[in-house]
């Protein structure tokens, strides 16, 4: 006997993600899912963001890593609430892990939640966490062919940050061709060029974040 | 390696549907997978063999229908299969497109006894 099913395999994850989003909405928290390959600058971006928003915006951070709490310790020193998720070998965060982390986060005390996903350009693209915005960091040393190699990730991003632009004089990277490739399959993506090392372009990123927060409140 | 989580979710759906139908055994599982999801058939098969042990889906055949990544050009409105490393429209050479297929990831049907 053949049974017609037509059920989205990630439907269960989507449902939990939706519940996470409702919880965040009820507390007035904007959640941003930060994704990139390992070493592209997710933690550096979080630290730069904290530096500029501390005292102005109440931040919370969820750190996703395969193992260790190194990143959470670095961020914890900034005096910002941080919850570490260790996936224990898993290559991405999912909605259920995020749900547990939200339970340990003082949501009533924060208004902006940055979720650092596991460094990986493939798997995190498929798993919604309940975030409001997806942000992808792609750095100059990775090369400008990444949109072609990981189309799903670039297709879903609300923002693409091109990080480490201070290295442009030393490496071959065509930012125009890179941006054009992204826009080709994702015309709504906002693209910012930044350097967490020099601070260049970070203001624009922070102002984008603040705009998203004010849009939600209005 | 997201195939592990995906295979577990797929198996959950299959077992739930099989139980609902009062099935004794699942013979075949028909899956539809878009190329853009990056899901590798061999990996799903590998995890499935492991995860389905001792369930009514143990030994079921997996059938994969792959959907190529297809785009529709916003310039000339024609649809075409997206090629690796070349995202220009083959008809008008435009480079602004909408992905219309390739993101599928679902259990289409199961065959049970």
Q: Which of B35, B38, B97, B108 to mutate to test the interface with A (most CBs of A within 10 A)?
A: B38
Q: How far B58 CA sits from the closest chain A CA (Å)? A: 17
Please report the sign of the dihedral spanned by the C-alpha atoms of residue B30, residue B35, residue B39, residue B44. positive
**The token pair that represents A201 in the structure block:** 């372009």
Distances (CA, A) of A104 to A14, A59, B32: 21, 14, 37
Which residue, A206, A211, A174, is CA-closest to A192?
A: A206
Angle ∠(A92,A93,A99) on CA atoms, nearest 5: 170
User: Is residue A10 within 8 Å of residue A111, measured between CB atoms?
Assistant: no
- Exposed, middle or buried: residue A50 (CB in 10 Å: 0-12, 13-18, 19+)? middle
Q: How confident is the model at residue B1 (pLDDT cuts 50, 70, 90)?
A: low
Task: Encode chain A (218 residues) as per-residue pLDDT tens digits.
Answer: 999 999 999 999 999 999 999 999 999 999 999 999 999 999 999 999 999 999 999 999 999 998 888 888 999 899 999 999 999 888 999 999 999 999 999 999 999 999 999 999 999 999 999 999 999 999 999 999 999 999 999 999 999 999 999 999 999 999 999 999 999 999 999 999 999 999 999 999 999 999 999 998 76
Residue A218: the pLDDT is 66
**Contact status of A173 with chain B (Cβ, < 8 Å):** no
- Residues of B with Cβ-Cβ distance to A184 under 8 angstroms: 87-88, 95-97
Distances (CA, A) of B107 to A33, A156, B30, B65: 27, 23, 6, 10
**The token pair that represents A30 in the structure block:** 């904007």
- Cα–Cα distance for residue pair A144/B86, rounded to 1 Å: 13
**Contact status of B8 with chain A (Cβ, < 8 Å):** no
Interface of A with B in 143-172 (CB under 8 A): 145, 148, 151-152, 155
CB pair distance less than 8 Å for B99 and A2? no
Q: Set out the domains of chain A in order of their start, with CATH numbers.
A: 11-217 (3.40.50.300)
Candidate from A1, A9, A145 with C-beta closest to B10: A9
Return the residue matching tokens 């395969």: A66
Task: Work out the number of other CB atoms within 10 angstroms of the CB of residue A145.
Answer: 14
Candidate from A6, A12, A125 with C-beta closest to B9: A12
Kindly report the three-state secondary structure assignment for every residue of A58-71: CEEEEEEECCCCHH
Distances (CA, A) of A207 to A29, A57, A110, A159, A211: 17, 12, 18, 13, 6
Residue A68: the pLDDT is 86
Which residue, A30, A173, A19, is CA-closest to A95?
A: A19
CA-based max dimension of chain B: 55
- Residues of B with Cβ-Cβ distance to A129 under 8 angstroms: none
Task: Work out the number of other CB atoms within 10 angstroms of the CB of residue A137.
Answer: 24
- Exposed, middle or buried: residue B67 (CB in 10 Å: 0-12, 13-18, 19+)? middle
Residue A67: the pLDDT is 86
Q: Set out the domains of chain B in order of their start, with CATH numbers.
A: 3-112 (3.30.2320.80)
CB pair distance less than 8 Å for A12 and B12? yes
Which residue of chain B is at minimal alpha-carbon distance from A185? Answer: B97
pTM of the complete model = 0.92
Residue-wise pLDDT for B22-58, tens only, equals: 999 999 999 999 999 999 999 999 999 999 999 999 9
DSSP letter at B83 equals: B
User: Is residue A197 within 8 Å of residue A41, measured between CB atoms?
Assistant: no
- Cα–Cα distance for residue pair A102/A62, rounded to 1 Å: 8
* Whole-number CA gyration radius for chain B: 18
Candidate from B96, B99, B106 with C-beta closest to A7: B106
Q: Is B102's pLDDT higher than 80?
A: yes
ipTM for the complex shown: 0.87
Q: Is B87's pLDDT higher than 90?
A: no
Q: Which of B7, B36, B44 to mutate to test the interface with A (most CBs of A within 10 A)?
A: B36
């Amino acid at each position: 006997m053949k049974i017609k099913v037509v059920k989205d395999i990630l439907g269960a994850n989507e449902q939990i993600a939706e519940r996470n989003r409702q919880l965040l909405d009820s507390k007035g928290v904007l959640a941003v899912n930060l994704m990139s390959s390992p070493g592209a600058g997710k933690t550096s971006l979080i630290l730069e963001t904290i530096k500029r928003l501390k005292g102005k915006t109440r931040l919370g951070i969820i750190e996703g890593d395969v193992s260790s709490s190194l990143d959470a310790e670095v961020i914890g020193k900034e005096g910002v609430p941080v919850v570490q998720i260790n996936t224990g070998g898993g290559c991405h965060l999912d909605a259920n892990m995020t749900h547990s982390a939200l339970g340990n986060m003082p949501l009533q005390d924060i208004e902006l939640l940055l979720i650092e996903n596991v460094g990986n350009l493939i798997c995190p693209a498929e798993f919604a966490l309940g975030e409001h915005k997806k942000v992808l960091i792609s750095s100059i040393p990775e090369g400008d062919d990444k949109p072609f190699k990981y189309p799903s990730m670039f297709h879903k991003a609300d923002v693409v940050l091109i990080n480490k632009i201070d290295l442009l004089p030393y490496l071959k990277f065509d930012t125009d061709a890179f941006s054009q490739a992204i826009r080709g399959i994702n015309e709504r993506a906002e693209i910012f060029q930044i350097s967490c090392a020099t601070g260049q372009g970070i203001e624009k990123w922070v102002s984008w974040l603040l705009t998203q927060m004010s849009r939600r409140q209005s | 390696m997201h195939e592990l989580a995906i295979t577990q979710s797929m198996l959950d759906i299959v077992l739930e549907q099989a139980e609902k139908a009062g099935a004794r055994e699942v013979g075949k599982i028909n899956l539809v997978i878009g190329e853009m999801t990056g899901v590798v058939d061999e990996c799903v098969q590998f995890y499935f063999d492991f995860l389905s042990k001792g369930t009514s889906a143990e030994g079921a055949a997996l059938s994969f229908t792959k959907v190529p990544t297809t785009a529709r050009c916003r310039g000339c409105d024609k649809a075409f299969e997206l090629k690796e490393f070349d995202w220009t429209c083959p008809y008008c050479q435009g480079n602004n497109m909408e992905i219309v297929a390739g993101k599928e990831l679902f259990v289409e049907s199961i065959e049970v006894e």
